[in-house]
Amino acid sequence: MLEITTTWRYGFMTTNENTGKEQKVVLITGASSGIGEATARLLARKGIHVILGARRTERLETLVATIRSEGGSAEYQTLDVTDRANFQAFVEFALSKFGRIDAIVNNAGVMPLSKLEALKVDEWDWMIDVNIRGVLNGIAAGLPLMKRQGFGQFVNLSSIGGHAVWPTCAVYSATKFAVLAISEGLRQENTDIRVTVISPGVTESELADSITDAEAGKGMQEFRKIALPAEAIAFGIEQPDDVDVNEIIVRPTASV
Comparing CA positions, the residue from 242, 230, 199, 228 lying closest to residue 42 is 230
Average pLDDT (147-154) is 95
Q: Give the side-chain half-sphere CA count within 13 A for 196.
A: 28
**pLDDT band per the 50, 70, 90 thresholds, residue 176:** very high
- The angle formed by the CA atoms of residues 225, 60 and 142, to the nearest 5 degrees, is 95
Comparing CA positions, the residue from 51, 50, 48 lying closest to residue 15 is 48
Answer whether residue 142 shows pLDDT above 60: yes
Bridge partners (DSSP) listed for residue 154: 104, 195
Q: For residue 195, what is the enclosing H or E element?
A: strand 194-200
Determine the length of the chain: 256
**pLDDT band per the 50, 70, 90 thresholds, residue 215:** low
Contact criterion met (CB below 8 Å) for 165 and 148 = no
Amino acid, single-letter form, for residue 211: I
Answer whether residue 31 shows pLDDT above 70: yes
pLDDT of residue 126: 97
Strand order in the sheet with 153-157: 73-78, 49-54, 25-29, 103-106, 153-157, 194-200, 247-250
Least confident of 22-26, 88-92, 129-133, 198-202: 198-202
For 116, other C-beta atoms within 10 Å of its C-beta total 12
Task: Reply yes or no on whether 76 is catalytic.
Answer: no
Query: How far apart are the C-alpha atoms of 79 and 90, rounded to whole Å?
Result: 7
**Which residue among 10, 76, 154, 172 is the active-site one?**
172
Least confident of 33-42, 71-80, 145-154, 182-191: 33-42
Backbone angles phi and psi of 48, in degrees to 5: -85, 140
pLDDT of residue 163: 94
